[in-house]
Amino acid sequence: MTSSVLDLAPVVPVVVLEDAADAVPLARALVAGGLPAIEVTLRTAAAPDAIRAIAAEVPDAVVGAGTVISARNVADTVAAGARFLVSPGWTDALLDAMKGSGLPFLPGVSTTSEVVALLERGVTEMKFFPAEAAGGTAYLKALSAPLPQARFCPTGGISAASAPSYLALPNVGCVGGSWMVPGDAVAARDWARVERLAAGAAALRG
């Protein structure tokens, strides 16, 4: 894969799975729709098994772990086959663990000071979270002039309608969102609907 998560696709689906058995058909639907990078969040007990199943059975998917908040999370998800890591925020210890994994990673930021601190540590690619609550496109646009070396994957409250305005910004490589994996579609195992929504997301451009 590319060394940058930000360059895989314009949208990274943020997936919460209650049943690991849904992981493979869901991933196949997302890949078929044109979204190969899939962030499986560690918000449920099923997440490690879901990551493991996607890594083993969906070779065209680039499965990552989201909501990574500890060195143990890093170790467990790397062992499960994750190919990138995403955190909602960061500490020095977590950053060291993510760097030590050898995988691409996106540490979460929501303030200018956090961005500057990461730049000091040699990190230029970040997750901006929670995007809408933290200032949205206006905030990111304001960051682009003084900190042009920082690139972002905004996540949190982004929809199909708002995604293009984020993708139009020079410091945004992709966005994260869950509108292509709505809970009712996953519960109904309506993978055809997921594929259609994924295709719509894959076609988004700023």
* List of E strands, the chain: 11-15, 37-41, 62-66, 85-86, 105-106, 108-109, 125-128, 151-154, 175-177
Query: Phi and psi at residue 191, in whole multiples of 5°?
Result: -70, -25
Whole-number Å distance between alpha carbons of 135 and 170:
16
DSSP 49-108: HHHHHHHHH-TT-EEEEES--SHHHHHHHHHHT-S-EE-SS--HHHHHHHHHTTS-EE-E
Active site residue 127: yes
Find out whether the peptide bond into 146 is cis, omega within 30 degrees of 0.
Answer: no
- The residue length of the chain stands at 206
Active site residue 39: yes
Interior angle at CA 170, CA 179 and CA 149, nearest 5: 115
Secondary structure letter of residue 44 according to DSSP:
S
- Among the listed residues 57, 125, 127, 141, the single catalytic one is 127
- Among the listed residues 39, 125, 132, 195, the single catalytic one is 39
Supply the residues annotated as catalytic. 39, 127
